[in-house]
C-alpha cells in the first residue's frame, strides 16, 4: 500500500492524530482553526485534510442561516464524516450483544440497531450475528470493532480470560466475524472502549482513570489522549485485586477479588447475606438500590471503602487526579454515590494539595469503538481504506 503523503510516516501519523483529535473535541472547525490549534502550517494542514476527505474520513460543510450545517462546497467548516456507515461496531456483553453500523463521526450517546441475548456458545453467537448483518446493511465496512470483556490481547485478537463469558476464551472472534463481513477485525477490551469513548466528550483534556462497575469491575488509564498499554496484553484489571477478609471465589480462578464484592452480582450477594436469605432467594439490583435509599448499610460502606483503596492506589501510582465512573454505580441513590466519591477523594494523596475529580458518566461504547477504528485502521502510517 502506498502512503498518502511524502511526509515521513511517523510525522504524518502524529499530524493526522492531532487533526482528528481536534475534530473529535470541536465537532466542526475551519482549516485555519485546525492549523492554529495543532501548530501546523496551513499547507500541511490542507494536505492532510485533503487526504482524509478523499478517504471519506472527513467531510466539508457550510453553515446556513441559523447555524445548521449543510453538506456542500464551498465549505468553510470540516467535521468527521457523517454521511455513510463505515464501521460495524459490536458490543459483546455478558447479557446482551448489540450491533450497529456507524460513520467516522462517533455518536455522543450509544445507539444500537440490533440487540439480542448473548448465547452460551460461539456457534450460536455466530449465527445470531450473521442474521443481524443482513439488517444493518453495511456491505463493505472499513473494519469490524468488537468490545469484549475479560483479559484481551488486542494485538492478536484473542480473549485470554473472560471470567463472566468463558466461551469467548476458546472462540476465534476475528475469524468468526470475517466470515460475515470481509473486513479487518479489531477486538477492544470493554473498559478500554469506554475510556476511548470519553475522548472529545468532555471539555477538558485531562488524563483520567476509567472505572466500570457492572457485571464485573474493570479499569483503564488514559494518558495524553492515549490508553496506557504495557508490555503484557492486559491492564486495568482493578477488579481482580484481592481484598483482605474477602473469601469469595472469583470467576478468574482467584479468591477474594474486589469484583466479587463490587460487581452487580457481588452487591446482590452482600445484600442477601446481610438479610440472612439463602442463596436461592431471588434479589435484583433494584433491591440493592432500595437498600441504599435511606442510610448506607455497613456492608455497602465496606465495599465502597475497598473500591476507594484500589482506585486511590492507581491515582497515587500514576499521578492522575480524575476518575470517570460508569456502570451500575451511577444508578445508586445520591447518598451512596456521594459516599463513594468522598472516600476516593480522601484516599487519594493529591487531595492534600488540590481537588481530585470523581465524576459519573454514561457508557459510550459505540463512540469508543469508532474512535478505536479510526486509530487502528485510518491513522496507521501505511493506512489505506476502501471506498
DSSP 236-262: --GGG-B-TT---B-TTS-BSBTHHHH
- Of the pLDDT bands very low, low, confident and very high (cuts 50, 70, 90), residue 291 is very high
Residue 334, judged by CB atoms within 10 A of its CB (0-12, 13-18, 19+), counts as exposed
Please give the pLDDT value at position 225: 78
- Report H helices in 137-237: 173-180, 190-197
What are 220-250's pLDDT values in tens digits?
Answer: 999 887 888 888 888 889 999 999 999 999 9
The C-alpha cell of 372 is what? 478505536
For the chain, the structural domain boundaries read: 9-80, 87-195+365-377, 203-360
Q: Is the pLDDT of residue 303 over 80?
A: yes
Please give the pLDDT value at position 10: 67
Identify the CA nearest to 6 among candidates 51, 40, 41: 51
Q: Is the pLDDT of residue 39 over 80?
A: yes
- How far, CA to CA in Å, does 333 sit from each of 7, 45, 290, 338? 54, 48, 8, 9
- Of the pLDDT bands very low, low, confident and very high (cuts 50, 70, 90), residue 204 is low
Q: Is the pLDDT of residue 7 over 70?
A: no
Please give the pLDDT value at position 18: 82
Average pLDDT over residues 240-262: 95
Q: Which residue has the higher pLDDT, 231 or 350?
A: 350
Is it true that domain 9-80 has CATH number 1.10.10.10?
Answer: yes
Bridge partners (DSSP) of residue 78 are: 29, 60
Please give the pLDDT value at position 386: 35
What are 96-113's pLDDT values in tens digits?
Answer: 999 999 999 988 889 899
Q: Is the pLDDT of residue 1 over 50?
A: no
Q: What is the CA radius of gyration of the chain?
A: 22
How many degrees, rounded to 5, is the angle at CA 301 between CA 296 and CA 307?
Answer: 135
Identify the CA nearest to 76 among candidates 65, 62, 64: 62
Class of the domain covering 203-360: alpha beta
Domain 87-195+365-377 adopts which CATH fold? Nucleotidyltransferase; domain 5 (3.30.420)
Average pLDDT over residues 261-283: 93
Separation of alpha carbons 302 and 315, rounded Å: 20
Fold identical between 9-80 and 87-195+365-377?
no
Amino acid at each position: 500500500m502506498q502512503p498518502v503523503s511524502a511526509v515521513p510516516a511517523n510525522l504524518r501519523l502524529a499530524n493526522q492524530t492531532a487533526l482528528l483529535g481536534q475534530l473529535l473535541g470541536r465537532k466542526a472547525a475551519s482549516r485555519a482553526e485546525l492549523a492554529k490549534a495543532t501548530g501546523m502550517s496551513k499547507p500541511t494542514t490542507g494536505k492532510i485534510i485533503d487526504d482524509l476527505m478523499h478517504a471519506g474520513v472527513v467531510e466539508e460543510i457550510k453553515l446556513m442561516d441559523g447555524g445548521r450545517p449543510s453538506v456542500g462546497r464551498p465549505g468553510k467548516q470540516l467535521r468527521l464524516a457523517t454521511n455513510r456507515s463505515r464501521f460495524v461496531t459490536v458490543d459483546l456483553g455478558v447479557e446482551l450483544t448489540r450491533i450497529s453500523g456507524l460513520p467516522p463521526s462517533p455518536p455522543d450517546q450509544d445507539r444500537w440497531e440490533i440487540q439480542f441475548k448473548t448465547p452460551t456458545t460461539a456457534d450460536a453467537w455466530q449465527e445470531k450475528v450473521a442474521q443481524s448483518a443482513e439488517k444493518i446493511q453495511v456491505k463493505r465496512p472499513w473494519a469490524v470493532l468488537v468490545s469484549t470483556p475479560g483479559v484481551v490481547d488486542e494485538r492478536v485478537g484473542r480473549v485470554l480470560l473472560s471470567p463472566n463469558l468463558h466461551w469467548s476464551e476458546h472462540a476465534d472472534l476475528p475469524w468468526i466475524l470475517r466470515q460475515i463481513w470481509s473486513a479487518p477485525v479489531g477486538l477492544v477490551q470493554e473498559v478500554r472502549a469506554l475510556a476511548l469513548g470519553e475522548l472529545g466528550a468532555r471539555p477538558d483534556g485531562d488524563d483520567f482513570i476509567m472505572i466500570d462497575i457492572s457485571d464485573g469491575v474493570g479499569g483503564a488509564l488514559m494518558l495524553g489522549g492515549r490508553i496506557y498499554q504495557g508490555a503484557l496484553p492486559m491492564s486495568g484489571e482493578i477488579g481482580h485485586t484481592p481484598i483482605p477478609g474477602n473469601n469469595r471465589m472469583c470467576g478468574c480462578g482467584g479468591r477474594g477479588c474486589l469484583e466479587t464484592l463490587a460487581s452487580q452480582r457481588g452487591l446482590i450477594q452482600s445484600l442477601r447475606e446481610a438479610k440472612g436469605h439463602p442463596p436461592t432467594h431471588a434479589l435484583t439490583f433494584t433491591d440493592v438500590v432500595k437498600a441504599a435509599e435511606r442510610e448506607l448499610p455497613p456492608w455497602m460502606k465496606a465495599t465502597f471503602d475497598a473500591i476507594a483503596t484500589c482506585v486511590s492506589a492507581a491515582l497515587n501510582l500514576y499521578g492522575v487526579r480524575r476518575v470517570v465512573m460508569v456502570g451500575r454505580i451511577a444508578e445508586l441513590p445520591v447518598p451512596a454515590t456521594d459516599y463513594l466519591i468522598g472516600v476516593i477523594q480522601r484516599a487519594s494523596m493529591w487531595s492534600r494539595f488540590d481537588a481530585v475529580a470523581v465524576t459519573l458518566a454514561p457508557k459510550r461504547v459505540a463512540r469508543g469503538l469508532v474512535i478505536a477504528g479510526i486509530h487502528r485502521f485510518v491513522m496507521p502510517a501505511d493506512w489505506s481504506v476502501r471506498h
